[in-house]
Structure 1
Amino acid sequence: MATSTLNNVRFAGMASCVPKRVVSNLTDCRPAIRAERERLVRNIGIETRRMAAEWQCFSDLAFDATEALLERLQWKREEIDALIVVTQSPDYPIPSTAIILQDRLGLPNSTIAFDVNLGCSAYPFGLHLLGSMVAAGGVKKGLLLVGDRSSTNESPIFSDAGTATALEFCPDAPPMHFDLNSDGSGYKAIILPVGGHREPIGIQHLVPFRDNEDEPWQRGTDLQLDGTAVLSFSTQRVPPAVESLLQYANVGKDDVDYFVFHQANRMINETIRRKLGLPVEKVPSTLHDFGNTSGASLPVTMTVRLNKELAGGRKQLLLSGFGIGLSWGSCLLEIDGACLPDLIES
């Protein structure tokens, strides 16, 4: 368990962008599997997802979110000292997407820009990374871009999104409390095994296959997910980690206005909520309409469900992301007077 507190860091604003294309898990599938999909939707709680156009990268969505946020904040681009991109969907294997976006956004050469490879737990880890740089005093204004392009026609779970969060140095800002954890022994639970140096792509990985005619076609280059292992990990590790963070910060559950969890699926999220004894009204969800947007799911949920509430005065939130790695992280923060534009569609 790695708990820590950051001071002098203000949550200045956040924007989220999703593709315009809406895909239905019920109607946009083969008729032969529609009954199965109806049962699946009841279990996972995801009816529609957002899917990027063929030409769209994650960075395009993140760019649009950043442009909207900078316009609303009225930040001068030459004032931005750091740009951190947390994604598993880079434009290219090399160079880093952050370097490309630094130039595309018109940020100065003095802006620190780099990528971090992390998925569903990305947001708390990214907040801590950028927040630490701001708290140290060297970075006065910084941007955190989080998201992925992970949707496919076959998978009923994943959606695409890009988000931008602005942090700035402020001596009067309330503290941010973090609890961040990793367990690499479970790395095979969510893995893309082909394409790295451990197993380079070969022609055999590109040949479609399926175990039986009722299952979708897949390739060796497709993501492999052990649903049982992920369910067990999420429901066993996340609730005690949340309790631990609250205890560390000396904050009671009743003092937290909203608990925002990574949007994994209905079964996982409902199990976590019930284990923690949280009322439904304090745990917003975007699963039904937006699916699992990977690392972007926390800011997307805040944007879609809470931006009006957060604009109305100081609110205390507990954010928790968990998944690939395996990794899980939570953040307890207060948001007051932040800029949160409505959801952007691109």
Structure 2
Amino acid sequence: MRNIGIKNRRICPQWQCFSDLALIAAEKLLDNLTWNKEDIDALIVITQSPDYLIPATAIILQNRLGLSKSTIAFDVNLGCSGYPFGLHLLGSMISAGGVKKGLLLVGDKSASLNDPLFSDAGTATALQFDESASPMYFDLNSDGEGYASIMKPIGGHREPFAAHHLIPSKDEHGLLSWPADLILDGPSVLSFSTQTVPVAVADLLAYVGVDADSIDYFIFHQANKLINETIRKKLSLPIEKVPTTLANFGNTSSATIPLTMTVNLSEKLQNGKNKILMSGFGIGLSWGTCVIDIESAMLPSLIEV
């Protein structure tokens, strides 16, 4: 537990889905922005906790939010790396000229009483076209060779769920597990994260042409304390530049980066201009890093439901 570094987590009631959390977050954000829903051109949902196998959760949320039928709506199946990927997708659509305003809904319902790591969260981010905006820089990567490091092997078409998957087994410590449980190869994920992320961060800084001192805040996916502290120390980053929500919220999958900004940097990001480096990494294996200037952002207060 010392290496995990989590004291509190958020666990939804059984009836509540990720989409319910995302809906609440999106409605509050839109109210604060006073956007006309008819003007929203795109809705991207990044989650590994869909309401159903089909249809896409984004299609359902497009209707629940009361968005126009002309709104582009689709899902992306990504976990802990998902936020930078989502920003790149929506930003590229806006840059291409077909989208003026868009919503990015990110998060998962991944908590369980048997797992001390994961929490439930849903977030909403709004982007709109601004011809004077600073460029956003991205470095996005995938390594499918490590797909088995974090996976749920049961329930897809490769191995459909069956009655025998309901039968638990005991490990050497007497703890029960089920075949459909999440498989997480801790040593493999630790090695991947601590070796890959520092290099990716350094490479992107070099590409952008800035040094670490020029970045106001580094916001990493909140994996666990050992991983995050190893990354920070390898990059020689001061603690005050690397905000964290791990202890109080746990690992909220793709929601950790926007959650950390909301909880720790809300006042700073709403007042003035900050250069932010974000880095998400995990399932896939996949990792994404971006450098973005954020100026006078709208960050509604955290909602606890």
Q: Provide the C-alpha distance between the structure 1 equivalents of 2:174 and 2:221, rounded to a whole number of angstroms.
A: 27
Q: Trace 1:1-346 onto structure 2 (pairs within 5 A).
A: 40=1, 42-212=2-172, 214-346=173-305
2:31 is paired with a residue of what secondary structure? helix
1:147 is paired with a residue of what secondary structure? strand
Partners of 1:84 and 1:113 within 8 A in 2? yes
* Aligned CA distance change for structure 1 residues 270 and 215 (closer, same or farther; 3 Å): farther
Aligned-pair identity (%)? 65
1:345 is paired with a residue of what secondary structure? coil
Partners of 1:62 and 1:164 within 8 A in 2? yes
How far apart are 1:178 and its partner, in Å? 0.2
Structure 1: state its 5+ residue gaps: 1-39
1:104-125 per-residue CA deviation (whole Å, 9 max, x = no partner) reads 0000000000000000000000
1:198 is paired with a residue of what secondary structure? coil
When normalised by structure 1's length, the TM-score is 0.87
The letter for the 1-side match of 2:207 is Y
How far apart are 1:215 and its partner, in Å? 4.2
Q: Provide the C-alpha distance between the structure 2 equivalents of 1:216 and 1:139, rounded to a whole number of angstroms.
A: 50
When normalised by structure 2's length, the TM-score is 0.99
1:69-113 per-residue CA deviation (whole Å, 9 max, x = no partner) reads 000000000000000000000000000000000000000000000
Structure 2: state its 5+ residue gaps: none
Q: Provide the C-alpha distance between the structure 1 equivalents of 2:119 and 2:10, rounded to a whole number of angstroms.
A: 5
Q: Provide the C-alpha distance between the structure 2 equivalents of 1:265 and 1:318, rounded to a whole number of angstroms.
A: 19
1:112-168 per-residue CA deviation (whole Å, 9 max, x = no partner) reads 000000000000001001110000010000000000000000000000000000011
The letter for the 1-side match of 2:166 is L
How far apart are 1:58 and its partner, in Å? 0.2
Q: Provide the C-alpha distance between the structure 2 equivalents of 1:136 and 1:228, rounded to a whole number of angstroms.
A: 41
1:260-300 per-residue CA deviation (whole Å, 9 max, x = no partner) reads 00000000000000000100000000010000000000001
2:48 is paired with a residue of what secondary structure? coil
Q: CA RMSD in A?
A: 0.7
Q: Provide the C-alpha distance between the structure 1 equivalents of 2:85 and 2:237, rounded to a whole number of angstroms.
A: 24
Q: Provide the C-alpha distance between the structure 2 equivalents of 1:243 and 1:172, rounded to a whole number of angstroms.
A: 27
How far apart are 1:189 and its partner, in Å? 0.3
Q: Provide the C-alpha distance between the structure 1 equivalents of 2:160 and 2:34, rounded to a whole number of angstroms.
A: 45
How far apart are 1:216 and its partner, in Å? 2.9
Per the alignment, residue 30 of structure 1 pairs with none
The letter for the 1-side match of 2:225 is R
Q: Provide the C-alpha distance between the structure 2 equivalents of 1:71 and 1:130, rounded to a whole number of angstroms.
A: 21
Partners of 1:126 and 1:144 within 8 A in 2? yes
